[in-house]
């Protein structure tokens, strides 16, 4: 019995959702708004971060920790469906790019755009909700270009983000980009190879639940669900 | 032939230095100032972050990725000296706390204090150097208490941070605290169990090189090197 506490607009949560589906693991989902600081949630994870996975009562915290755990306990048996490379150097390259998506890109772009455009609309003003800060949005949008250029360079020089096979790095980068794409923040015309790579990710069956995500009162841009965008 | 690109005041770099010594791995050190944006360094790591490890020409980027790599290639043979637990749940708990130290604590405390008190003194004003921002320092110092309380609770309820054996989580938390201790930012009288745990970490032979670190024109507080502080 596995439960994932997640949020639709958390890139780390999306990465774990993709991995769970790729590994065909049955799971119950519970959406969490961390700003509510729900007591039972804080007892599981005093860091008040998402995602959190509960496996038979055991609490596993954080996207990369959960991914490592799922790979160690389930992925290692998946043979050609495994999204963790077998070799230490391959895993190191994958982990570098998972960190890039879920830490660097998150800290310089995703976190700000989601906070300003989505979370602040959901939160009451007593805990910091309100109108987006246009200066923070402008800074994050300026940073997007630099990151897309790097992901685009990877897409041009490799079949997949970390090399010649799809790995967890593809799941993490696609998760981050899918959030921003929902909000119409990505100009796909800038980079044909990156667009082609994202189209391949988007057409995977594991991606369907992400494309079905909807925020109340905030529909996605029209091309968000199109496989041919 | 292994080279570590690191910085004295980077908690992730200190964690890797401790792990290299615990695993008795020979290494050449090269101190890097990332704000210099040295061309050869950016070619190795376009994210411009530390630490970076080069093993026989292979570039491994980021503290937790390097630790995983060192454990996979060297640690697995270390038997009782291994600092990675053998079981997936033990590893998950260790990784949660490594993330806490090197991501959460880093983003809420360490990064600001090191940037304001150390890095800005070293950087020319053209790239952001100058006097510390007292507001940023005040915010970071307010956050320290909450993190020390949590680390203290772990020290009270467990022999080591992640359970009954020393793991990489102890190396990561001790690395972060040692930086702040150098700068006199930690009041050890607040928590006897945390102080006792840190004294145990500090007395390990692997800790000696960290205690010998010196910043130019900025000596550590007097108790920084004392094993009986």
**How many contacts (CB atoms, under 8 Å) link A and B?**
67
Question: The tokens 């700068």 sit on which residue?
Answer: B183
pLDDT at B96: 98
Average per-residue pLDDT for chain A: 96
Contacts with A66 from chain B: Cβ below 8 Å = 92
Nearest by Cα to B169 from B66, B67, B25: B67
Q: Tell which of B46, B47, B48 to mutate to test the A interface (max A CBs under 10 Å).
A: B47
Cα separation of A183 and A113, whole Å?
9
pLDDT at A221: 96
Give the pLDDT mean for B138-164. 97
Nearest by CB to residue B73, choosing from A66, A68, A88, is A88
Name the band, by pLDDT with cuts 50, 70 and 90, for residue B201. Answer: very high
pLDDT > 70: what percent of chain A? 100
- Kindly tell me if the per-residue pLDDT of A77 is higher than 90: no
Could you report the predicted ipTM of this complex, rounded to two decimals? 0.95
pLDDT at A228: 86
Q: Does B106 contact chain A (CB < 8 Å)?
A: no
Cα separation of A12 and A174, whole Å?
11
Q: Does B74 contact chain A (CB < 8 Å)?
A: no
pLDDT at B163: 97
Helix (H/G/I), strand (E/B), else coil: B185: coil
DSSP B222: G
Cα separation of A64 and A57, whole Å?
19
What structural domains does chain B harbor?
2-81 (3.40.30.10), 88-212 (1.20.1050.10)
pLDDT at A76: 86
pLDDT at B77: 87
Interchain CB distance below 8 Å, A104 and B65: no
Interchain CB distance below 8 Å, A60 and B92: yes
Name the band, by pLDDT with cuts 50, 70 and 90, for residue A229. Answer: confident
Shortest CA gap B225–chain A (Å) = 31
pLDDT at B76: 86
pLDDT at A133: 95
CB B102 within 8 A of CB B110: no
Contacts with A77 from chain B: Cβ below 8 Å = none
φ and ψ of B31, to 5 deg: -75, 135
Reported as a single tens digit per residue, the pLDDT across B36-84 is 999 999 999 999 999 999 999 999 999 999 999 999 999 988 989 999 9
Nearest by Cα to B104 from A105, A141, A61, A72: A61
CB B22 within 8 A of CB B81: yes
Q: Which residue of A has its CA nearest to B104?
A: A47
- Kindly tell me if the per-residue pLDDT of B94 is higher than 90: yes
What is the side-by-side order of every strand in the sheet holding B28-31?
A: B28-31, B2-6, B52-55, B58-61
Q: Which residue of B has its CA nearest to A73?
A: B88
- Kindly tell me if the per-residue pLDDT of B28 is higher than 90: yes
pLDDT at A222: 94
Q: Does A54 contact chain B (CB < 8 Å)?
A: no
Strand partners, A215: A218
Q: Does A2 contact chain B (CB < 8 Å)?
A: no
Reported as a single tens digit per residue, the pLDDT across A94-153 is 999 999 999 999 999 999 999 999 999 999 999 899 999 999 999 999 999 999 999 999
């Amino acid at each position: 019995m596995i439960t994932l506490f997640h949020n639709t607009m958390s890139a780390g949560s999306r990465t774990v959702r993709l991995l769970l589906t790729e590994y065909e693991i049955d799971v119950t989902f519970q959406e969490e708004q961390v700003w509510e600081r729900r007591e039972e949630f804080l007892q599981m994870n005093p860091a008040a971060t998402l995602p959190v996975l509960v496996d038979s009562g055991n609490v596993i915290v954080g996207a990369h920790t959960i991914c490592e755990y799922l790979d160690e306990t389930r992925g290692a048996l998946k043979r050609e469906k495994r999204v963790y490379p077998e070799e230490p150097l391959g895993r190191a390259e994958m982990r570098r790019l998972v960190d890039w998506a879920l830490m660097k890109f998150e800290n310089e772009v995703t976190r700000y755009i989601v906070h300003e455009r989505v979370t602040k609309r959901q939160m009451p003003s007593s805990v910091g909700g309100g109108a987006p800060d246009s200066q923070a949005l402008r800074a994050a949008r300026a940073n997007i270009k630099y990151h897309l250029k790097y992901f685009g360079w990877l897409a041009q020089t490799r079949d997949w983000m970390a090399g010649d096979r799809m790995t967890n790095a593809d799941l993490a980068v696609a998760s981050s980009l899918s959030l921003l794409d929902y909000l119409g923040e990505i100009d796909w015309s800038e980079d044909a190879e990156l667009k082609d790579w994202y189209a391949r990710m988007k057409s995977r069956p594991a991606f369907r639940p992400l494309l079905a995500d909807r925020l109340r009162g905030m529909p996605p841009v029209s091309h968000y669900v199109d496989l041919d965008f």
